[in-house]
Structure 1
Amino acid sequence: MATIDDFSDILSAMEQNPELQEAMRNHVLGEELRQLPAVVHGQGELLVQALERLDELARTLRDVVEQISGYALVSSRVIATTVERQDRIEADVAELKASQARLEVSVEALRENQARMEGDITELKSGQARMETDISELKSGQTRMQGQLNNLTGTDYERKVAKRAPRAATLDFAESTWCTGSQFRTALLFRPCWRKLQKA
């Protein structure tokens, strides 16, 4: 069995002989433990690469978040503008509907006024026709009255002349062939027959 002194001698020998040290290491550690530093070194490099990629992904994620935030801000503005425009469109539509309702009321009022005017025109035409009929009747009545007045005037004049003439002369005048019955009134007006009667 090796003693402490022997172990110390072994360590000293290993320190002085690198080949002995490597042989001891291979003997004690085995293949897997001897490859562990290389594995750890490789894993460290992979870890560094992963961390670098993670940092890059974090930067990309921050950029994406900033873009999304910008898009969200733009979207909110677009939505607000769209809502405002929709409100204005709804207000315009409501105003157009109110204007249409007012126009329909105005059109209905115009139709009623037109109907009343047509009724008034029809009534005026009827009144005008009645007035024309009345005027025609008045003219006819005036003509009849004028004829009656002329007859009355002639009859009155004949009566006055008959009162002034002698009775015999009147009879002789009535029997005379020079003045007919229709000429008698004319004779009374122009008096040629009366003069003829006076000469007889």
Structure 2
Amino acid sequence: MQARGTKSARRKLKRRAKRERRFAAQTNHVIANEIVADAQRTGRGIAVEELAGIRDRVDRVRLWPSQRATLSSWPFHQLGEFLAYKARRAGVAFVEVDPAYTSQRCPNRWCGHTGRGNRPTRDSFRCASCGFAGPADHIAALNVERRASTAWVFVNMPNEPAVESGFRASRAGQPDRSAKRKPRALTLGR
């Protein structure tokens, strides 16, 4: 239809694109609702990798054309936004972490070896240093969980107590310049 280029073909393509967009949004809503409901029911938080640049990573992997079309047209960012606002609304902790090397790093606390050799195949993980092994997706999830718990500590760190007169106790006699500034949002990851 694109090659034909007629007015009716463009109209039909526009309708199809809207239909696909609505389907993807509905599916993302359902997925986000299930994840948030599970987290709320179990009393846990949600940690996801930052999805920025996922299309570039998909392009580097060899896929069938049908898989390539599915992965490159899916709105991953929208899913992340839905998870964030639904988690906030439900009172569930939500953190995005840096995805770098989550599937190549050993989750063993005493090892932590990172390298391409840890992934002998696409689906398996085996640490070249300590021998820790398991499914690659499970290993990546363990690493995301560890990064999220570390990030969560920094997000929830209490502010430095300020003296009411506008002076810090450590800098007695000098005005507290940070009290005049707006608080900056902490960004996780890159």
TM-score under structure 2 length normalisation: 0.20
Bigger fraction of residues in strand: 2
TM-score under structure 1 length normalisation: 0.19
Bigger fraction of residues in helix: 1
Q: RCO greater where, 1 or 2, for CA within 8 Å and sep 6 or more?
A: 2
Structure showing greater radius of gyration is 1
